[in-house]
Amino acid sequence: MPHQHQADSTFANPVIPGFYPDPSICRVGDDYYLACSSFEYFPGVPLFHSRDLVHWTQIGNALDRPSQLCLPADLPSSAGIYAPTLRHHDGRFWLIVTDVREGGGNLIVTATDPAGPWSDPVRAPGVPGIDPDLAWDEDGTCWCTVAGVSQVRIDPSTGETYGTPHRLWSGTPGAKAPEAPHLYRIGGYWYLLMAEGGTERGHGVSIARGRRPTGPFEPCPANPILTHRSTDHPIQNTGHADLVQAPDDSWWMVLLGVRPRGGTPGWHVLGRETFLAPVTWADGWPVVGEVPLEAPAPGWPLLPGPVEASRDDFDLNEVRPSWISPRDRPAEHYSTKERSGWLTLRARGGSLDERDVVFAGRRQQHLSCRGRTLVDPASGRGGLAVRLDERHHYEIEASATDVRVIARVGSLRTVVASKPLPTGPTVVLGINITEPPAAHDARTGPDVISLGIGEPDGTFTELATLDGRYLSTEVAGGFTGRVIGMYAAEGTVHFDWFGYEALAP
Ligand code: 6LW
């Protein structure tokens, strides 16, 4: 177990599993804070705290009320909130992020406590691109650097920009998508870190340095300083990184990566996750160490069975910060007060095929896991789903009369199985996700997803087992990962509890 401040080589990656991409990190004293992208989900920009860079706890979301984030019902999946930068300057936390949609643009929020409240946003229409970074010069001048890579002077308290944006270093010639820039003053240099090669298998991290924050920048001769492209490393698409120095002066990088599984070409289903790697310095350049495997940490039980369990009984008025919903979460449709101790979902559109579906879920964070919920469908129709987006989801749905398994893959939608509602007004719906045993068939999928009914004696009656590849980013496209949760497709549906258990690999 790493001791405080210093992650040693035995830590388990990803340090934040599940769809938590584009990590940005800062340290204040002994505390580290980290922010991620959230795309079409509300609340936006999950925020985490850690004291050792390895164990992270979600402390809130930077955009957690409609006055800060009001995503329209027709927002496409994988649009919305992209790539924040989190910094601490002058006694405050500053977070700048892009809202990718028509009329969106960059916005800045501040807080004295990163757990919130965060301010209402200030818009920065003069910022010339996505993936904005904020860096302050010695004299207090603030520079905003964006994908491309270009830069403009900004007053982050008003969002006003000054002068014409100027081009900085654009990465390795021929590499696509120079993006995710972060600018740091380290020693006598300004370092410009960025991602290039695209966020798919070609992703990587490169760096340049100069004497001034505005350049000129000289590229590191060892670029890319991190990439897993064309390797057989189990963590792929490594890129979009940020640097942090620990109190003991050691340096660390947080980055996104994916864990493709199955045969060729490999499918990743949890989205882009947050990983940690050690950094050393040589000749004034950072050298990124091995991104350790997700090898079980000491103490991780290797026997099958739950390794991490969480259960929500909906007994509090507030839901945990890790619960997310597509686009918005209005109180008329999501309530823990209507029926005490239950989550009540009131349908507004229709099924999970609709962009305004009423759905509350949490990220699938483990390759093998299971979800359960106890539902009362007497006055509606709804259930438990694994969702990648509106066009890619599997669900088990209960009504007053029956239980059905539905699969939506691209433009195909099928009722895979159905049976009469078992006796009783309530039913436990379940989803089991497991990695298939190692096979020599190159076409084996990443995992299998079983949907069924939890019986009163604790056993599970499977209604259908489906190939997980169709709920992967390689099939669906986009930037997000799977979310498991409850939804209402018709009327009012009550959920007494929701449980999630990670299973040992
Ligand atoms: C983000 C870009 C990227 O804006 O993916 O991996 C985009 N990098 O930097 C969406 O997260």
408 and 270 both lie in a single domain: no
pLDDT band for 438, please (50, 70, 90 cuts).
Answer: confident
Cβ neighbours for 341, distance < 8 A, ≥ 6 positions apart: 313, 314, 315, 496
Distance (Å, whole) CA 47 – CA 56: 10
Tell me, yes or no, whether 300 lies in a domain: no
Structurally, how many domains does the chain consist of? 2
pLDDT at 183 over 60: yes
Q: How far is the CA of 22 from the centre of ligand 1 (A)?
A: 6
201 and 338 both lie in a single domain: no
404 and 284 both lie in a single domain: no
- Among candidate residues 399, 431, 402, the one with its CA nearest the CA of residue 419: 402
Q: How far is the CA of 439 from the centre of ligand 1 (A)?
A: 33
- Among candidate residues 176, 183, 120, 121, the one with its CA nearest the CA of residue 151: 183
Q: What is the DSSP letter of 234?
A: S
243 and 321 both lie in a single domain: no
pLDDT at 235 over 70: yes
309-351 per-position pLDDT tens digit: 789 999 987 788 999 999 999 999 999 999 999 999 999 988 9
Tell me, yes or no, whether 306 lies in a domain: no
Looking at 256, 288, 320, the residue that finishes a domain is: 288
Q: Please say if 467 is a catalytic residue.
A: no
- Number of Cβ atoms within 10 Å of the Cβ of 381: 23
Question: Chain centroid to CA 192: how far?
Answer: 24
Q: What is the pTM of this model?
A: 0.95
Tell me, yes or no, whether 45 lies in a domain: yes
Q: Are strands 105-111 and 122-123 parallel, antiparallel or unpaired?
A: antiparallel
DSSP three-state, residue 469: helix
- Among candidate residues 172, 180, 191, 170, the one with its CA nearest the CA of residue 245: 191
Probe ligand 1: pick from 20, 36, 37, max atoms within 8 Å of CB? 37
Asked whether the beta carbons of 375 and 429 are under 8 A apart, the reply is yes
For position 441, what pLDDT does the model report?
86
pLDDT band for 504, please (50, 70, 90 cuts).
Answer: confident
51 and 86 both lie in a single domain: yes
- Where residue 74 sits, what CATH number does that domain have? 2.115.10.20
Tell me, yes or no, whether 296 lies in a domain: no
Domain containing 442: what range? 311-502
For residue 76, say if its preceding peptide bond is cis, omega within 30 degrees of 0: no
57-89 per-position pLDDT tens digit: 999 999 999 999 999 999 999 999 999 999 999
Question: Chain centroid to CA 502: how far?
Answer: 17
Q: Please say if 40 is a catalytic residue.
A: no
80 and 150 both lie in a single domain: yes
428 and 356 both lie in a single domain: yes
Residue type, 400: A
pLDDT at 370 over 80: yes
For residue 149, say if its preceding peptide bond is cis, omega within 30 degrees of 0: yes
Residues with CB under 6 A from ligand 1: 21-22, 37, 82-83, 130-131, 179-180, 195, 199, 239-240, 256, 479
- Where residue 402 sits, what CATH number does that domain have? 2.60.120.200
Tell me, yes or no, whether 423 lies in a domain: yes
Q: What is the DSSP letter of 421?
A: P
Phi, psi (degrees; rounded to nearest 5) at 284: 75, 15
Give me the mean pLDDT over the 201-206 stretch. Answer: 97
Better-scored residue on pLDDT, 294 or 263: 263
Distance (Å, whole) CA 220 – CA 285: 7
261 and 348 both lie in a single domain: no
